[in-house]
Amino acid sequence: MVIPQQEDFKFSEERKLFYVALTRAKEKLFILSNKHTISEFVTEVINDSADTEIQVFGDDSQNTHCPNCKTGFLIERNGKNLFYGCSNYPLCEHTEEVKYCNQCGELLRKNIKNNTADCNECGNSESICNKCNGYMVKRKGKYGSFMGCANYAKTDCDFTINLRF
C-alpha cells in the first residue's frame, strides 16, 4: 500500500523528466543527438511528431554498417590502438582493425556497397572481402599471386580473388 504502483513504461522516471524538459520551451525546442547512438526518447519524439519540423544533419556516406549486428555503425575508437568498433557496444562487441592507405598514409573508410576501402585524401581504393567485409591482402600461393581475406586466421574466412590472367 505504501509503495507506488509500478509504471508500465520502461524508464518511466526518466521519461517524465524528459517530458518536463520538453514542455518548458518558450518558443523553439532544439534536441541535439548523435543519430547513430540516438536515445529511445528522441526516437519517440521523432516518430510521434507529425506536426513538428524535424531536421536531421549529417552525412551517412562515410558510415559503414556493422557486419555483425547489421544495425550499428563502425565508428573510430581509441584503446591501445585506433580501431573501428560497433556503435551498439556493449550489445555488439564487433571490432575491426584500422587500415591506412598504402599511397598517402591516410585512414581508409570501408564502402560495403562497392566492396572497397577508400581513401578520401588521394582517392585510392583497396578491395575488401565479399564474404566478411575484412580487408583483402596480396598473398602468394603455389599457383601464383592472389588476394586473400585478412580475417583468414581469425575467422577462417576463405574468400579469395584470383590475380592470374
pLDDT at 61: 47
pTM listed for this prediction? 0.48
Residue 153's pLDDT band (boundaries 50, 70, 90)? confident
pLDDT per residue as tens digits for the range 109-126? 777 778 888 888 898 988
Model confidence at 94: pLDDT above 80? yes
Residue 73's CB is within 10 A of a number of other CB atoms, namely 18
In this prediction, residues 63-79 reach a mean pLDDT of 79
Model confidence at 60: pLDDT above 80? no
162 beta partners = 146
Report how far residue 135's alpha carbon sits from residue 99's, in angstroms, rounded to the nearest whole number: 8
Q: What order do you get walking across the sheet with 95-97 strand by strand? A: 64-65, 73-78, 82-86, 95-97
Averaged pLDDT of the chain:
79
